[in-house]
Every structure is written in C-alpha cells, then in structure tokens.
Amino acid sequence: MCTTCGCAAGETRIEGETDDATHEHWHVHADGSAHAHPHAHAGEHAHGHGGLRYAPAPHAHVHRHADGTVHAHPHAHDAAVPHEAAVAHEHAHPHAHPHGAEHGHGETGAADALHYGHGPAGAHAPGMTQARMVQIERDILAKNDAFAAANRKRLAEQGIFALNLVSSPGSGKTTLLCRTIDALRTRFPIAVIEGDQQTSHDAERIRATGVPALQINTGKGCHLDAAMVGRALQKLAPADESLLFIENVGNLVCPAAFDLGEAHKVAILSVTEGEDKPLKYPDMFRAAQLMLVNKVDLLPYVSFDLERAVEHARRVNPGLRVICVSATTGEGFDDWLAWLEHGLAAQRAQKQETVAGLRRRIAELEEKLVALSR
C-alpha cells in the first residue's frame, strides 16, 4: 500500500472547498460548471522555514555505514522543531535471502526474479523495517476504516447504493459510466464522485449527461480514501434511494486496500489489456465483487483470451461475478443494468426495513410510557 507508493498528504482538492495552499475557493454551480478564484485573508501567514507559526513535518534522513547497514532518523529543517527528535531511530539490516523470505522468487520460480512482496508487510521501502511498515499500514487503514464505517452508515440510512469503480487507466470507466447514466437517469436519481490526480475533465463529462458530479483531485495521491469521500458526500448531498458511482483513480494497486464505505467494488478490465491482469494485481480482483470486461467489441481485433481472463480472475476470487460489456455498442448492458437495479432495490429494502424497525421500537416505548403513567 502507500508505505511505498509515495502518496502525499495535504494535496487533495475537492470542488467547492478552499485550497489552503493557494487560497483558491472552488464553486460548483447549479448547471454543474465549476471554477476557482483567489481567496484573500487579512494578515500575513508565516510559511517560511524560519517562521514560528509553521513547522515543516520532520522527514527521514538515511545513513549507510561502511559495513553496509542502513538506518534512518527524523530530520527537521526548522528551528522550532528540536533536533533531539533524531535520537529515536530504527535500523534496517540487509541480509541475504537466497530462496526468499522477503526477497523470494516470483510465481514462475525463475532464478533471476526479485520479489519484494513476501515480507509481513507485503511491500518494501528502503531503510524501513517490515515491522514498521506493518504498523504504519495498520494505523492508516484503521483511521480509514473508521471514516468508511461512517460513510456506510450514512449511505444505508439514505438507502443509497454506492459502487467503487476501480481499474487501470484507459479501461473505459468514464465512457461506461456515461452510457450507464444515459440508460438510467430517467428512472433513478444518480450522483457521481470522480477521482483523478489532476483536472476535472471526467467530472465535466459526467455533468454533461445531466447528473451532479464532484471532482476530487488527489495530487500526488494514487487513490481515494474514505475521508475524501465523506467530505465529498457532504458537498454533493446525493438524494435518498439513489445510485452513487465513485470513479476511483486509475490504479490497480492502492485502491484495493481502501474501503470507502461502498456496497461493492467493481473492477473493470478492458480487452486492450492483458488477460493476466488478475494474476498480476490479485489484491484488486480479490477485493471486487463484480468484474466488468469492457470493450468486447474489439475482441476480433486484439489478442485477448476472454476465457483465460475469466479463469485467472476466478482463480484469485472464486466468487467473482463477471459481465462482459461494450460501452461503445451497448453489448452486455442489459445484464449490467439489471445487476445495478437489483442492488439498488436491495439497498432500498434494507432502508425500509430499518425504518420499520425503528417505528416498531418507538411504538413499544410509547406503550410502556402509557402503562407507566396509569
């Protein structure tokens, strides 16, 4: 996960929120268009390295010794941050692993393969121990899961069927989403949260279909997280008993680990990619409940073994449902739309059951109050 990918905190920008770094304020208008303007503040802000009102977060300084050992300690560049923090540091000692614990061989067992996913953390970062990486991951995901639980509670109370659409870049997520919206927008309320590192191009494409969409730009971040989605829900305010599509950043790695509070993850694999993607990126396909194989209209023109792709996906996730579609021709869309309708109906039924249960409980309490007052 993000102990190795370089995701940066503080770079997220959600339409409609003030950007603290640039002091730009974003507006989303009734017609769906968005713009930003500078937002002035009275007084000066001390952002320099020498100011006392802002202290940059310490970063790790790595040393390599003559014997080959490596260690890292926090290192700060601000006078307001005491350098004594550098006392606490951890050591990472390289060892030889001929057959692999942390550096094991790949699936083929080739002698020239290097595998950095065999340690307890399932990843590698220079100068950081596996134990430290595991602790960081647990801390990050525990915080994310708390936000995801809050999102899920809100969505359940409103009867909203939320889907997290995940794929590699270029799989056709946005085109598929636009066609889906065109087919369903007169029957159900729909809203979309768009995730990209930069630009609002996809949100603008969605708004052109006539449904509300909110763009989240993650900056250097490579995935959406539950806190971002929670903030977006506050601004987007999707209608009760609606469909909510969350189009995640194009990436088959980190989005697999982050629960957003959605009902399901939907993995999209296009036939212009390799049929071995589910084996190369197993965490994503294991986390998904549905795989859409998109661009099947191109099968006569590409070297893609559809049966083998499905076999690989189900080797990773035996319970994975697969629907083959074409966002261009509409092939397979009847099955996809029926799956969406069934999911929304189930979410609405769950909401109604919850409301009915609350009403029964209120009636019981009222009866007890009447009995006590006699």
Per-residue pLDDT of the chain (374 residues), as tens digits, is 454 454 655 566 777 676 544 444 444 444 444 445 555 444 444 443 333 333 334 444 444 444 444 444 444 444 443 433 333 344 444 443 433 343 434 444 555 677 766 777 677 777 778 787 777 767 678 899 999 999 999 999 999 999 999 999 999 999 999 999 999 999 999 999 999 999 889 999 999 999 999 999 998 888 999 999 999 999 999 999 999 999 999 999 999 999 999 999 999 999 999 999 999 999 999 999 999 999 999 999 999 999 999 999 999 999 999 999 999 999 999 999 999 999 999 998 888 888 777 888 888 888 888 888 88
Position 12 scores a pLDDT of 67
Give the per-residue pLDDT at 358. 80
52 domain-assigned: no
Cβ pair 338, 346 in contact under 8 A: no
User: 326 is in which domain, residue-wise?
Assistant: 140-349
Beta bridge partners of 244: 162, 191
Does residue 212 belong to any structural domain of this protein? Answer: yes
Amino acid, res. 223: H
Residue 189 lies in a domain: yes
User: How many contiguous H segments (helices) and E segments (strands) does the chain have?
Assistant: 9, 14
Q: What pLDDT is stored for residue 367 in this prediction? A: 83
Output the pLDDT for position 277: 96
- Residue 364 in domain: no
Q: Domain tally for the chain?
A: 1
User: Distance (Å, rounded) from C-alpha 316 to C-alpha 310?
Assistant: 10
Give the integer Cα–Cα distance in Å for 262 and 273.
26
Q: Would you say residue 87 lies in a domain?
A: no
Burial class of residue 242 (count of CB atoms within 10 Å of its CB; 0-12, 13-18, 19+):
buried
85 located within any domain: no
Apex 261 CA angle, 139 and 276, nearest 5: 85
Per-residue model confidence (pLDDT) at position 119: 74
* Residue 83 structure tokens: 């350098």
CATH of the domain at 303: 3.40.50.300
- Kindly write down the DSSP assignment for every residue of 40-53, as one continuous string: --SS----STT-SS
H helix runs in 171-270, sequence order: 173-184, 201-207, 226-236
The answer to whether residue 76 sits within a structural domain is no
50 contacts 31 by C-beta, under 8 angstroms: no
Output the pLDDT for position 59: 46
**pLDDT for 10:** 56
CA–CA gap between residue 203 and residue 195 (Å, rounded): 9
CA–CA dist 115, 108 (Å, integer): 11
pLDDT at 11: 63
The reply to whether 60 falls in a domain is no
Eight-state DSSP code of residue 256: G
- Cα 109 from Cα 282, distance rounded (Å): 18
Q: What is the pLDDT of residue 220?
A: 84
Q: What is the pLDDT of residue 115?
A: 73
